[in-house]
Structure formats: structure tokens, C-alpha cells
Amino acid sequence: YQSEWYRLPLRLQMMLIPIMVRSLKPCQLTAGKLYVMSMESFGA
């Protein structure tokens, strides 16, 4: 988190962009793309 990625060579910076964009979307564990599995739903 504290890396100075902007000081990397341009090629490596470009390789990091898809990773950074992907990290904006939260991860979810789903059952068959129908049901989001979470601690809240497990207790329900």
C-alpha cells in the first residue's frame, strides 16, 4: 500500500493499472451467481 508505484518504469506502471482498477470492485463469494455468501447471510 505504501509503494511508490509512480516511480516505476512506465511499462510496469501500465501493467499495474488493470490490477488497480480491479481492486476498486469488492470481492464477493457467491453460490451459483445467485446468492451472496457472507457472515450475515450465514447467520440468517
Confidence grade of residue 33 (pLDDT, cut at 50, 70, 90): confident
Return all residues near 8 (Cβ < 8 A) that are at least 6 apart: 16
pLDDT at 16 over 70: yes
- Calculate mean pLDDT across residues 13-24: 92
Whether 32 and 39 have beta carbons less than 8 Å apart is answered as no
pTM exceeding 0.85? no
- Calculate mean pLDDT across residues 9-37: 89
pLDDT at 1 over 80: no
Higher pLDDT, 10 or 2: 10
Beta-bridge partner residues of 9: none
SS3 44: coil
pLDDT of residue 36: 86
